[in-house]
Amino acid sequence: MTYGYIIGAAVLLFILWLGNGIRRIGSVSVGTKIGERGGSALLLIDLQLVFWDHGPYSDDAIQSAAAVILEEVEAARARNHPVIAVRQEWSIPSTKVLARLTMNGQAIEGSEGTELAELFSSCPEYIIVKRVQDAFETGELDALLERLNVGKLRLVGLDLNYCVQKTALAARNRGYDITVMKHGTLAAAPTEVAEKRMSSAGVVFL
């Protein structure tokens, strides 16, 4: 076995390892179908300092979305609906490497800025940490929603093309009624494809 062969094999294994990380980041989990549940909740997605204050979104878009998000929080509180925040922390080894290579190292577990932006820090009653775009991937959100008897979710946050979309699709796979408050979301790129995919899965946009 030559040295060049060993190097080539190592590079190939590294590429496959990173490819698996990419797959995990964008996958949508299936989960167990929920039964009849009467409760509703508001889900705040990735409203973190590193994304909110240092993301690729315009000031106008941020201000507009913030107003809607805070209105949704107040409405949820008035109806005694739980407010749940999910925060991104890249903690799987391959996804941490990908975050360093392609995401400027943002939101890596233990790094600065993974906390909620100050504007939203007092909003949630519960906070869940997610490892990939799909907030249901670890099972922690499943367990919390079951305990709270939640069958309907309203989603706000970012990014509509990624974490909002994948979380909405994972929720639909489990049988949740999902409403995305479009004006309470942010996106760095056009959203037509993501919206069509979600709508086809039964997600409602308001």
Number of domains in the chain: 1
Q: Each residue of 140-175: pLDDT tens digit?
A: 999 999 999 999 999 999 999 999 999 999 999 999
Residue 20's domain comprises 3-30+39-205
pLDDT of residue 19: 87
Q: 10 Å Cβ neighbour count for 102?
A: 11
**Banded model confidence at residue 1, pLDDT cuts 50, 70, 90:** low
pLDDT of residue 13: 85
Contacting residues for 190 by C-beta, under 8 A, at least 6 apart: none
CATH code, 54: 3.40.50.850
Q: Each residue of 4-50: pLDDT tens digit?
A: 677 766 778 888 888 888 989 999 999 999 999 999 999 999 999 99
Q: How far apart are the two ends of the chain, measured CA to CA in Å?
A: 61
Q: Which two tokens stand for residue 167?
A: 């979380």
Distance CA(112)–CA(96), nearest Å, equals 14
